[in-house]
Amino acid sequence: MRNFPAQYSLQANDVMYFCHIPKTAGMTFRTIIEDQFACEDVCPATLNAQLRKLTLEELRRYRLFRGHLGFSNLPGLLPNKRVVNITVLREPVARVISHYDYIRRMPGDPHYAAVKDMSLEEFAQRLTAGKLGKNIQTYHVAKTTRFNLNKLSVEETMALAVDSLDAFGFVGLVERFQDSLFLLSYIFGWKPILNSRRENAAKQKKPLAEIPSGTLEVIQANSQLDAQLYQRAKETFEARFEAMVADLLQSYGDTVGNIDPSGATLTTAQLVTLLEHHYDQRYRELEPPLAETVVYDFNQPLRGDGWQRREYPLDSATSYRWIGPEPAATLDLPAATETDTCIEFQVICTKATKPEIVNSIRLFVNQHPVKLSLLQGDRDQRLYLAQVAQSLMQSNRPFTNLRFEVSQTLALNSINPNNPDKRLVGLAFNLFQVFPAHLKSFSLVASSFESAPWQEAVAFLQQHCQPADPVATLLVFNLYLTNPISDYQTFIQKGGFPWVVVHKGMSDWVDAMLPKLTRQGLAPVFANEVFVIFTHRDLPKLSYRTPHVKSLYVDYLRRSLIQLVKLLRRKLRLERDLAEAGPESQASQSEARQEQAIKAGKQ
């Protein structure tokens, strides 16, 4: 890292390789690094055997490699590419102990059979990296520069590891993991990364004081090279971190109040604020154009914080993320700001969490709260719309900041014990759209309004509804109406709407609503082949003989008659079966019906 620029933006010809050394917080770090790349740019192989199954053509498409790939010659596989190496190191004694504990609690590990009955002291002397002993951090770092180490002496390998380390783009420390993430963000110009994940972490760690001193001495004796490498990495890290803080204070210190000019007493919150300014500046330097329309999903690099790792549903290629572990998450999108804007986003997996969390969703645009309307709420997902005034789109930052909040986060396992997920999560999101308010055709539900009957219904409502009039209709009408919109279920449960728009094709809802419409005195005032609009406002009423109104009621009566005939047939069939069965069977069936009635009454 000493010979790598203090700040660096990845270039088109660069490939990043995260050298994952066992038990150095690598699983957590891996998901964090993956956040910075598009799905299609991340090599799926994390083990050497997996990598060997990929063709050279496939390998050369990827921009991020991560995992235990020490036995693969990446530079040789990727000619004409610059490999930017990054890694995380750990105090050697703690790493050996953690590795030993991990293998013994993981029966699926390839070393489990050999290690499960070993003592820690035996482990420290066996399963070594050849002549390098337990110095596997030295081994892996050296191999990034020279793949074949067989002809090198221990001293030559150590010297090579030091040279390699100095050329790394980033070297973090487990013992200063959060500071490592801050330095990583600073070097590559990424949004400040706050550590909130614990992937593959041990639940409990045995204190060093409980380990015999003789065992510790054996571990130390077998990891002396790693100790030297770790010390050099630590010194380099501290120097780089101090230089980072000094640069941030010089560049942005006047934007943060009550700050120590020396940086000695910087709080985490103050450092995050400074890094946010740095991120904004690095973003500006890239000069990304602001787009009139923005479509974003989590297959793209993460441009925000407060999200759990990227996940993939079984039936879709589009990934999703949960808010968590805190009840808020952000996105920074390069949206144009010259006009009123619509923002749509989709929430999925709503049945996996609590309804009160689903209903608590709030959106802030550039720190301003905005009203949310529900466009669709069927099955296990919801589509929301926010219509944002142009004044709220203005910001001194080079992008539009979206902040999503929920009332709480919880473990899905606490709701459903069959769900193994114990992370703290809020809601899951998978799609976001930003587009000018005048481009309603860009909406995810716009296709519904391409037909004349839908357009006619909207035009009638826009002409005759007062702005504050509540309307019971399909939620997608939120796209074109500014009125308070409620769904059919709300009308059936509560009633009291001055306007109800009935979609004639939704027979289940029609059958439940028509009697209620009549009882509440609402009459038809508009009808076409798709919709009938009812109101008690003072407008000319349509005759129930009007073809489009008549068809609504004729179809309703036909369905009601069919249902009645089915009930009568069922009753006649039951009576015939009883008559053929004889008195004893009739009595037993009568008793069974009485028992069912009693049980139903208790319920």
Contacts with 122 (C-beta within 8 Å, 6 or more apart), sequence order: none
Name the least confident of 4-18, 416-430, 505-519, 558-572: 558-572
Chain-centre distance of CA 468, in angstroms? 36
The yes-or-no verdict on residue 204 having pLDDT over 90 is: no
Contact status, residue 39 vs residue 57, Cβ threshold 8 Å: no
pLDDT tier at 111, thresholds 50, 70, 90? confident
Percentage of residues of the chain with pLDDT beyond 70: 94
Average pLDDT over residues 198-220: 80
The yes-or-no verdict on residue 600 having pLDDT over 90 is: no
The yes-or-no verdict on residue 603 having pLDDT over 50 is: no
The yes-or-no verdict on residue 127 having pLDDT over 90 is: no
Contact status, residue 141 vs residue 24, Cβ threshold 8 Å: no
pLDDT tier at 259, thresholds 50, 70, 90? confident
CA atoms within 13 A on the CB side of 36: 23
**Beta-strand pair 170-173/82-89:** parallel
Which of 249, 258, 37, 275 has the alpha carbon at shortest distance from 178?
Answer: 275
Q: Read off the pTM.
A: 0.83
The yes-or-no verdict on residue 592 having pLDDT over 70 is: no
Structural domains present in the chain: 14-269 (3.40.50.300), 289-444 (2.60.120.260), 446-603 (no CATH)
The yes-or-no verdict on residue 206 having pLDDT over 90 is: no
The residue type found at 381 is Q
Q: Per residue in 54-108, pLDDT tens?
A: 999 999 999 999 998 888 899 999 999 999 999 999 999 999 999 999 999 999 8
Average pLDDT over residues 109-120: 90
What are the CA-CA distances from residue 78 to residues 24, 41, 83, 133, 140 (Å)?
A: 26, 14, 8, 30, 18
Q: Per residue in 221-253, pLDDT tens?
A: 999 999 999 999 999 999 999 999 999 999 999
Q: Per residue in 430-484, pLDDT tens?
A: 999 999 999 999 999 999 899 999 999 999 999 999 999 999 999 999 999 999 9
Task: Give residue 203's pLDDT.
Answer: 60
Per the listing, tokens 């249902």 go with 563
Chain-centre distance of CA 120, in angstroms? 39
User: d(Cα 513, Cα 492) in Å, to the nearest integer?
Assistant: 6
Task: Give residue 181's pLDDT.
Answer: 98
167 three-state secondary structure = helix
CA atoms within 13 A on the CB side of 465: 27
**Beta-strand pair 294-296/428-436:** antiparallel
The yes-or-no verdict on residue 589 having pLDDT over 80 is: no
Per the listing, tokens 């041990």 go with 202
User: d(Cα 565, Cα 574) in Å, to the nearest integer?
Assistant: 14
Residue-averaged pLDDT of the chain: 91
Decide which of 563 and 553 is more confident.
Answer: 553
Percentage of residues of the chain with pLDDT beyond 90: 78
User: d(Cα 300, Cα 331) in Å, to the nearest integer?
Assistant: 12
Q: Per residue in 264-277, pLDDT tens?
A: 789 999 999 999 99
Task: Give residue 316's pLDDT.
Answer: 79
Decide which of 600 and 455 is more confident.
Answer: 455
Task: Give residue 500's pLDDT.
Answer: 98
Task: Give residue 109's pLDDT.
Answer: 87
Identify any residues that bridge with 73 across adjacent strands, giving them in sequence order. none
User: d(Cα 323, Cα 429) in Å, to the nearest integer?
Assistant: 8
User: d(Cα 555, Cα 546) in Å, to the nearest integer?
Assistant: 14
The residue type found at 158 is M
The yes-or-no verdict on residue 547 having pLDDT over 50 is: yes
What are the CA-CA distances from residue 468 to residues 456, 464, 484, 491 (Å)?
A: 21, 12, 7, 17
Average pLDDT over residues 392-421: 95
User: d(Cα 575, Cα 500) in Å, to the nearest integer?
Assistant: 43
Q: Per residue in 334-369, pLDDT tens?
A: 999 999 999 999 999 999 999 999 999 999 999 999
User: d(Cα 69, Cα 20) in Å, to the nearest integer?
Assistant: 8
380 burial via Cβ count (<10 Å: 0-12, 13-18, 19+): exposed
Decide which of 443 and 600 is more confident.
Answer: 443
Q: Per residue in 5-22, pLDDT tens?
A: 999 999 999 999 999 999
Task: Give residue 450's pLDDT.
Answer: 92
User: d(Cα 235, Cα 233) in Å, to the nearest integer?
Assistant: 6
207 phi and psi angles, rounded to 5 deg: -60, 145
User: d(Cα 295, Cα 490) in Å, to the nearest integer?
Assistant: 32
Residue 496 zone, left/alpha/beta (φ > 0; ψ -120 to 50; rest):
left
Average pLDDT over residues 554-581: 87
User: d(Cα 483, Cα 225) in Å, to the nearest integer?
Assistant: 71
Contact status, residue 472 vs residue 499, Cβ threshold 8 Å: yes
Residue 224 neighbours by CB distance under 10 Å: 16
pLDDT tier at 133, thresholds 50, 70, 90? confident
